[in-house]
Chains A and B, each alone.
Chain A
């Protein structure tokens, strides 16, 4: 009898628990957290696509869209760790000169054909072709790509290169796997209808109007928690519509009007309005520290700026926090290192920099023999932060007696000056290189690599090892050299600001600033 009572009690408890669970699941909060399939999202981008072939362009906007359509072998997680995407796993031989990739079985292209090793071989060889890919030179160490069997690819290099997997995880462009036959059909290059293996298919591009992506029902991909561009890629949404809205105020109006559900770039000047008004209406603002890094370069071979004491004086004259505030209105964090905060490669040593000291700056200028010669600081208004930081740097340097002249040029002109090293000072910024070895390579622009050969050795050494401790030591040494030589003044990493309505669920702003829409659902 007591057994029956116990059974009944147990059944009652189970029933009560089930009823509670049911009630909870029906409660709005709980239900909202349960992913739902279906519906479509409209996302505002700050510019239009320029190309749909993943291998031919490095424009950020193209990568944002094409990461949904194509897949690389590897991708970066949130902490810049490498994660497999189109492959299941990979390994290197002992000296990192041969890499073997084991592909996911059953992964389909959007045309229904299975992706196999031959496709990976074709895709990597296409990326290595300078007539196709602007990144071809980065793959010059590859001597052969072999399809060992249907699901195994072997990449052979001409020298040990531990940084090679980082090349495959480039955030822009996507080092995408593409089907040969579709490219052949479309004249050797994707112009309108790219075909990939991603969770979304490219449906339509109406230039300057919208880009439409549709869910790929037969998608199979990585498992495990989402992290950056890695982890599981579940397509909850049926469609993704991406609308270019280059005018900031118009993009805000479109968001308030609910013509778009999510805005890729929320202008910092609207944050105050968000706090006062928009938040009450149900808008959510995400702010995440990004990898983008902004700096002022010195031309170390140019008159005046070739003087080390002059450069050090400039470093003492600039208050990084003040410049950061001026450039990004408080939505950035000063960082004297090229390595972003939060990166596994960054140690405390990377905070070592010149403490703001105008008196010391003046004394050093005197020692440098500086007599008020004009120094030109090139900048552009295309990216307003580059201009604002240039104005702030000019003001700081003028305060200690440096005769800085601003030279505002168009973006293509600034790019050319930067690439050629044709400047005394240059206000610049970039999307950030997750691999610090590649970031330090940009010192070439200042001309420092020619005068300090050790920098090149560090870069080479860093590319040859995968050992974290060793890498951290090498990057500390690189930072010490930049501290001593001041070829640049690293200013800050800015935060990515993105806004969406509260019915957009599961959305995370990631440190690349790419709006990633797998794992996102709507609760309208």
Chain B
């Protein structure tokens, strides 16, 4: 297993170099000039040229890339063109927010998705199943920004249960932080729950038809044991892939939720930085997100072994 992990970590290096090159090229290919953004609507061509020179943007692209990559190897992600703050510090401030939001959303999603998916599979083609299908279709179809705004309107403005704006870090004040996180986590988790629940249902349907389940039933095991101990464990492996992909994607930034609930997360930061053509921030954030994504996929691969004994690591 250790050898497998090491091998995966070594593969990570060329992957990240490739991502770095791609991100660098893509962001520099997008039309728009950070110098013009810095100067705002009152800029003149001379001002823009002067700022480009000061930022080193007038140097050849390959030269800029080599300098950036060289710094990156030494752990220096660069500084923001606008705020002049180190990119890595900003990522460090914002990633925990996104991690917290996504993890809470995942917990919420699993609490909803696992029982409902199993229930729908067990009661296949019954009213319960149809109700489940309607619920999951709604879950994947309702736009996050609309759901978020409705949640704010009802639970913050009308009922006053939760704050409509602001953020308190859960690692600073747990309960107060949780109050700020509940609505965004539910909003985000509902979509995730719908996707995961559908996956649980379809995997369970496949597994429940297999011979070993019939065998377990024939042995006289209770239906509860058959479903939870024998069927669910095997059905969970493909679901795990969906969860991994969803979780990885959201860790890259739950932009809409972060924007509606005014959360200082990584996704919102990345999108704003793209609009402002803050090259070092965009490059640093995407590289970081790629790293997180790859690591989560590796963890999912490792977890496969637990749920499916046929999986071997070599």
Contact = CB atoms under 8 A, between A and B. Distances in A.
Interface stretch (B149-157, B238-246, B305-313): B149-157
A277 interface: no
Given A257-B160, A415-B37, A416-B31, A207 B264 contact: yes
A52 B268 CA distance: 20
A344 interface: no
A166 to B, nearest CB: 13
Contacts of A247: 259-260, 262
A51 B82 contact: yes
Interface string A145-185: 00000000000000000000000000010000000000000
B44 to A, nearest CB: 7
Interface string B261-275: 111110011001001
Interface string B80-121: 001111000010011000000000000000000000000000
B173 interface: no
A246 B42 CA distance: 22
Contact of A137 (B31, B34, B50, B164): B50
A58 interface: yes
Contact of A254 (B83, B164, B259, B275): B164
Interface in A297-344: none
Interface residues of A, number: 62
A243 B166 contact: yes
Given A189-B84, A207-B264, A428 B41 contact: yes
A412 B38 contact: no
A243 B262 contact: yes
Given A412-B34, A415-B32, A134 B39 contact: yes
| Interface secondary structure of B, over-half rule | helix
B165 interface: yes
Interface string A45-56: 000111111001
Contacts of A444: 44-45
Interface stretch (A367-375, A429-437, A461-469, A473-481): A429-437
A26 interface: no
B41 A257 contact: no
Q: Which of A254, A420, A430 is the most central at the interface, judged by chain B CB atoms within 10 Å of its CB?
A: A254
A44 B165 CA distance: 10
Contacts of A208: 94, 167, 262-265, 268-269
Contacts of B133: none
Nearest to A418: B41
A58 B31 contact: no
Contacts of A44: 165
A524 interface: no
B152 to A, nearest CB: 6
Contact of B156 (A56, A253, A410): A253
Nearest to A173: B40
Nearest to B93: A207
A480 to B, nearest CB: 24
A442 B39 CA distance: 14
Contacts of A399: none
Contacts of B264: 206-209
Interface string B22-38: 00000000011110111
Interface in A15-63: 44, 48-53, 56-60
Interface string B251-289: 000000001111111001100100111000000000000
B42 A419 contact: no
B177 interface: no
A419 B48 contact: yes
B51 A416 contact: no
Contact of B32 (A48, A416, A438): A416
B166 A410 contact: no
A441 B38 contact: no
Q: Which of A209, A249, A253 is the most central at the interface, judged by chain B CB atoms within 10 Å of its CB?
A: A209
Interface in B206-238: none
Nearest to B33: A416
Question: What bracket does the count of chain B residues touching chain A fall in?
Answer: 35 or more
A366 interface: no
B266 to A, nearest CB: 10
Interface string A128-139: 001100111100
A499 B136 CA distance: 41
Nearest to A442: B42
B41 A431 contact: yes
B46 interface: yes
B87 to A, nearest CB: 12
B32 A58 contact: no
A256 interface: yes
Given A208-B268, A419-B43, A243 B275 contact: no
A189 B86 CA distance: 12
B275 A57 contact: no
A260 B54 CA distance: 39
A6 B56 CA distance: 86
A413 interface: yes
Given A189-B84, A243-B165, A415-B41, A257 B277 contact: no
Given A207-B94, A245-B262, A412 B31 contact: yes
A250 B264 CA distance: 15
A49 B85 CA distance: 12
Contact of A210 (B37, B41, B43, B166): B166
Interface in A187-219: 189, 191-192, 206-210
A137 to B, nearest CB: 6
Nearest to B32: A412
A448 to B, nearest CB: 14
Given A208-B268, A254-B164, A254-B165, A430 B54 contact: no
A207 B269 CA distance: 9
Contacts of A58: 38-40, 42
Nearest to A254: B165
B58 interface: no
B149 A259 contact: no
B267 to A, nearest CB: 11
B168 to A, nearest CB: 9
A257 B165 CA distance: 10
A411 interface: yes
Contacts of B260: 247, 250
18 contacts: A52-B83, A130-B50, A130-B51, A135-B47, A136-B50, A137-B46, A172-B40, A208-B94, A208-B268, A208-B269, A209-B166, A250-B262, A257-B163, A412-B277, A416-B36, A419-B44, A428-B41, A442-B42
Given A137-B44, A254-B165, A410-B32, 12 more contacts: A50-B82, A51-B83, A58-B40, A130-B51, A130-B54, A207-B83, A207-B264, A243-B262, A250-B165, A419-B48, A428-B41, A444-B45
Interface of B: 31-34, 36-48, 50-51, 53-54, 82-85, 90, 93-94, 149, 152-153, 156-157, 160, 163-167, 259-265, 268-269, 272, 275-277
Closest A-B pairs by Cβ, 5 of them: A412-B32, A208-B264, A430-B41, A415-B36, A50-B82
